[in-house]
Amino acid sequence: MSRWAAGVEYLGSSFSGWQAQPHAPSVQAELEKALSRVADHLVQTVAAGRTDAGVHGFHQVVHFDSDARRTPHAWLLGVNTNLHEHVALRWVQPIRDDFHARFSARARAYRYVIHNARFRSALLEGRAAWVAWQLDAEAMHRAAQVLIGELDFSAFRDAECQSRTPMRNVHSIRVRRQGLFVVVDVRANAFLHHMVRNIVGSLCDVGSGKRPETWIGEVLASRQRTHAGMNAPAAGLYFVDVEYPSEFAVPVAPDFWLP
């Protein structure tokens, strides 16, 4: 058996999330079906991170094992030919047996995209969240800096989160305006269920002037989910990057195209 790593891109609005489930479409099930057809045996995948229904993947990384003799090009061409139209492999390469897509990762990064315009866009439906009122991106950025570090993120954690600990180490968080878009980039060692979407929902309360910048720190200290803002829509969230030790030589994520 040889171990392979692959980069996966997908439009999450077509699926009930990454993880395979019995009675709902998933990215994992579609990918494993295509891989199994090319390998001519059952293939199972492990991903760097699970995404929820409606959340997109720009540079999701997976690994899988196979005894099929295939070149990277054969895997790439064959799997993409058999995949759902909203899922695509961007690269495939052989990798060391001790590589694990989830446990070898040092950090993961998400981008949340807000279309901040008076009127909604038909072309951005399902690909960006829409906020009609003007957001102050600079205020949102300043407020977000209190979230950097190894902290208890209970206040930004979904009630059904199954993680054994609410502690996460946020390496960086940046909010910026780019034309009619407000973009939130977050990098951390790992994330809790709905953590990014809950943070963004709270930051939007600051950006709209509903809450002061100091409020984010107060919410964090409360450790109570009920003290935070609304859960931002899934449509604006993208899994954009995974960082691994250099010895695995995993390809670096390309520049994100949106916005």
In this structure, how many other beta carbons lie within 10 angstroms of the beta carbon of residue 5? 24
Rounded-to-integer distance, Cα 83 and Cα 64, Å: 16
Q: Which of 52, 65, 136, 158 is catalytic?
A: 52
Rounded-to-integer distance, Cα 77 and Cα 83, Å: 10
What is the three-class DSSP state of 18? coil
**Pairing state between β 167-178 and 149-152:** antiparallel
Q: Is 241 a catalytic residue?
A: no
Decide if 132 contacts 118 (C-beta within 8 A).
yes
Rounded-to-integer distance, Cα 25 and Cα 31, Å: 11
Check whether 110 is labelled as a binding-site residue: yes
Spell out the long-range contacts of 93-98 with Cβ–Cβ below 8 A and sequence spacing 24 or more: 93/4, 93/5, 93/6, 93/249, 93/251, 94/2, 94/3, 94/4, 94/5, 95/3, 95/4, 95/5, 95/63, 95/248, 95/249, 95/250, 96/3, 96/247, 96/248, 97/3
Structure tokens at 162: 């199954």
Binding residues: 110
Residues marked active site are found at 52
Binding residues for substrate: 110
